[in-house]
């Protein structure tokens, strides 16, 4: 049965995941480096990992399996989850795939280099209502496809 893993520390769509996962009666793991308020539900399990570098990512990568869904904006975690045949969605609704992950990793490395050299500043654009709506639609469609 499909399970959902949320890389929760900086995830802006946790509430949306809780609603959709609840409708589908799916177990959801909320993985973070610190305690956070989550809804009381037997289907939602909070996993607090130690503060080690990538501890939350490592826990997700070690526990995810084929057919599970991972919600993350962390590209290296997305790559690790895809290698375990999980479905990976970014908070804006972007689906990571085996075909797109290589380019995503390369762009991540390029942008990190450009930030280090001062050629670009700032980060990603602000999260919008359109991103939230797209995410909800993609998550719902993904879960329906996995059920078939």
> Is the pLDDT at 103 greater than 70, yes or no?
no
Whole-angstrom Cα distance, residue 125 to residue 13? 16
Provide φ and ψ at 88, rounded to 5°. Answer: -125, 125
Give the chain's radius of gyration (CA, Å): 15
SS3 70: strand
Please name each of the domains of the chain with its CATH number: 4-147 (3.40.50)
Per-residue pLDDT, 131:
93
What is the band of 14 on the pLDDT scale with cuts at 50, 70, 90?
Answer: very high
Answer yes or no: are the C-beta atoms of 88 and 81 closer than 8 Å: yes
| Each residue's pLDDT tens digit, 116-136 | 777 666 666 788 999 999 999
Per-residue pLDDT, 4:
98
């Amino acid at each position: 049965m499909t399970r959902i893993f949320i890389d929760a520390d900086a995830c802006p769509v946790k509430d949306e995941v809780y609603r959709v996962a609840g409708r589908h009666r799916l177990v959801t793991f909320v993985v973070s480096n610190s305690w956070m308020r989550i809804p009381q539900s037997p289907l939602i399990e909070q996993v607090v990992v130690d503060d080690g570098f990538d501890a939350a990512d490592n826990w997700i990568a070690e526990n995810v399996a084929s057919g599970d869904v991972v919600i993350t904006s962390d590209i290296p975690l997305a790559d690790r989850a895809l290698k375990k045949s999980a479905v990976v969605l970014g908070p804006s609704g972007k689906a990571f795939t085996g075909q797109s992950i290589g380019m995503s990793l390369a762009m991540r490395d390029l942008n990190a280099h450009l930030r280090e050299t001062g050629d670009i500043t700032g980060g990603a654009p602000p999260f919008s209502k359109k991103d939230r709506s797209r995410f909800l639609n993609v998550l719902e469609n993904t879960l329906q496809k996995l059920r078939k």
